[in-house]
């Protein structure tokens, strides 16, 4: 559209005038002898005509200047410029000689693209070969401490894959940029060229404008992150001071420093994220909010068991029920604590069984810590033997204490002692008790103690036996020490009388 006609002229409506001008321009577009200098402006009363070789193409009336901000001469001059530019462009675009030049230029561009593609492929092929040659020379894989994260071959494969991706991106950009150049040479495809360019330029513009608009929020996020970082550094410093014992707080144990720091760090990071969240790009969009709600739903309902274990782990930490290396009994499980975290407590039994107990189960079970008082007061190990009433209890005490003193990991002080725990019908229960500071070796201590009890009783002539008697005791000796028996006591013989039936 060159201009819009909105006013009538005599009996001609605006649409009639526009149709007439359009037909005249179409005829000039087909005129191979088109000569722009022959298009002139001619005064016709109050009107101004656009005349080409005595053909009136259009007329500018005073009423046409309404709302244009120009007078008739200025408006006519503007129409003259529009007609000359459009017709010159049309004839230039349809000039066969120019078409051939543009076609040759397009072929040249395509040839250059093919040549560049060829040499780009050669370059990346050479680069891939060089990388393969450096395997086991400059490329040795990636290791972290003693763990081989990537061996040399995997590292080479990653490099080759990255090079291939870069090559594809470069070739795609080359072709994508060449096509608009070729399409832009021809009028019929210029719109397509502009569209292809817009596919690249529009996203880049949006990204650029978005980054520019995001700069104030980005600075706010950076400031908040720096404050949170230095706050974490301060908390970490306090943690180390408390852990090493340099800083002491009444009622706060050094082993609480690390878990308290972990909790404080999680809370501080969560608080920082909440503060930063409104400044993130797209945080107020419905999609972003919907994803946040969905993740919150999954976290709430999908981790209920984990949350209960985490809470129980925190409570266990501050209850100080046990530490790493302690010998404990949790429910029916006995062993050494080898790991405790926010979710589970792992215990290694004396049979090298590794048992994981959820912290919630630990909270709901009774816990016995054998190591809590072992270093200071010692853990009391005890074992029970039953001896008949015929053995003097003092001899039994002496033999059991002697056995405990011979046991290597039983302490001499406090001294072992014996308790008579029960007087049963046929025997007495003697319990030997000894102190040890090695609760993790209970099994071996008990085994050695039992061996020594056997040896001590044999040396003392004590039979480890729990006698049982029937109702018939005729012929049995009195079940009491010899010095407690009457002086004239003799062991009666066992008598059996036989009654014969004489009636048979």
pLDDT of residue 47: 80
pLDDT of residue 243: 77
SS3 state at 166: helix
Report helix, strand or coil for 135.
Answer: strand
Residue 456: predicted pLDDT: 93
Give the pTM: 0.49
Predicted local distance difference test score (pLDDT) of residue 31: 64
pLDDT averaged over consecutive 10-residue blocks of the chain (504 residues)?
73 78 73 67 78 76 74 77 73 63 80 90 90 78 71 83 90 80 66 70 80 84 91 86 78 75 85 85 70 68 66 75 85 88 86 87 84 86 91 93 92 92 90 92 92 91 72 55 70 64 58
Residues 6 or more apart in contact with residue 243 via CB below 8 angstroms? 254, 255, 257, 258
Residue 92 has a pLDDT of 64
Write down the pLDDT at residue 402: 94
**Which pLDDT does position 417 carry in this prediction?**
95
**Where does 289-378 show beta strands of DSSP type E?**
327-330, 333-340, 344-348, 354-358, 367-369
Q: What is the pLDDT of residue 479?
A: 62
Q: What is the pLDDT of residue 30?
A: 66
Can you tell me the distance from the alpha carbon of 29 to that of 94, in angstroms, rounded to the nearest whole number?
Answer: 10
Q: Are 178 and 197 in contact (CB under 8 A)?
A: no
Write down the pLDDT at residue 105.
81
Partnered with residue 147 across adjacent β-strands are 144
Strand partners, 379: 436
pLDDT of residue 475: 47
Nearest to 489 by CA among 503, 501, 500, 479: 479
Give the C-alpha distances (Å, rounded to integers) separating 230 from 66, 215, 259, 429.
Answer: 69, 23, 19, 67
């Amino acid at each position: 559209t060159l201009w819009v006609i909105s006013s009538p002229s005599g009996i001609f409506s605006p649409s009639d005038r526009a149709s007439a001008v359009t037909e005249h321009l179409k005829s000039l577009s087909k005129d191979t002898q088109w000569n722009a200098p022959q298009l002139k402006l001619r005064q016709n009363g109050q009107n101004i005509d656009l005349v080409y070789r005595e053909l009136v193409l259009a007329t500018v009336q005073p009423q046409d200047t309404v709302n244009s901000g120009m007078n008739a001469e200025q408006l006519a001059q503007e129409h003259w410029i529009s007609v000359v530019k459009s017709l010159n462009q049309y004839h230039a675009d349809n000039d066969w000689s120019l078409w051939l030049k543009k076609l040759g230029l397009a072929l040249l561009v395509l040839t250059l693209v093919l040549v560049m593609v060829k040499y780009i492929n050669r370059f990346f092929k050479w680069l891939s070969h060089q990388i393969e040659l450096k395997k086991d020379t400059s490329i040795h894989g990636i290791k972290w401490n003693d763990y081989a994260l990537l061996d040399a071959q995997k590292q080479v494969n990653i490099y080759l894959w990255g090079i291939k991706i870069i090559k594809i991106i470069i070739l795609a950009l080359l072709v994508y940029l060449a096509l608009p150049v070729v399409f832009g040479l021809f009028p019929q495809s210029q719109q397509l060229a502009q569209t292809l360019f817009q596919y690249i330029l529009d996203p880049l513009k949006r990204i650029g404008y978005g980054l520019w608009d995001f700069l104030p929020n980005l600075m706010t996020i950076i400031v908040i992150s720096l404050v949170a970082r230095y706050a974490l550094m301060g908390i970490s410093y306090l943690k180390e001071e408390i852990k090493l014992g340099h800083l002491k707080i009444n009622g706060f144990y050094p082993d609480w420093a690390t878990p308290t720091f972990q909790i404080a760090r999680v809370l501080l990071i969560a608080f920082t994220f909440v503060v930063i969240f409104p400044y993130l790009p797209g945080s107020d969009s419905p999609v972003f909010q919907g994803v946040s709600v969905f993740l919150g739903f999954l976290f709430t309902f999908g981790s209920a068991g984990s949350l209960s274990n985490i809470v129980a782990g925190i409570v266990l930490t501050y209850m100080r029920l046990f530490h790493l290396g302690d010998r404990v009994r949790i429910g029916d499980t006995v062993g050494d604590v080898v790991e405790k975290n926010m979710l589970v407590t792992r215990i290694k039994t004396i049979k090298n069984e590794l048992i994981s107990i959820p912290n919630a189960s630990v909270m709901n079970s009774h816990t016995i810590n054998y190591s809590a008082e072992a270093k200071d007061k010692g853990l009391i190990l005890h074992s029970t033997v039953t001896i008949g009433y015929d053995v003097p209890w003092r001899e039994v005490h002496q033999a059991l204490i002697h056995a405990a003193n011979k046991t290597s990991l039983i302490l001499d002080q406090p001294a072992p002692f014996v308790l008579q725990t029960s007087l049963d019908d046929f025997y007495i229960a003697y319990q030997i008790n000894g102190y040890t500071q090695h609760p993790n070796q209970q099994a071996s201590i008990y085994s050695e103690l039992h061996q020594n009890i056997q040896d001590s009783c044999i040396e003392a002539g004590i039979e480890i036996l729990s006698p049982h008697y029937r109702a018939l005791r005729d012929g049995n000796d009195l079940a009491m020490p010899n010095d407690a028996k009457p002086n004239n006591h003799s062991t009666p013989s066992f008598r059996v009388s036989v009654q014969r039936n004489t009636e048979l």
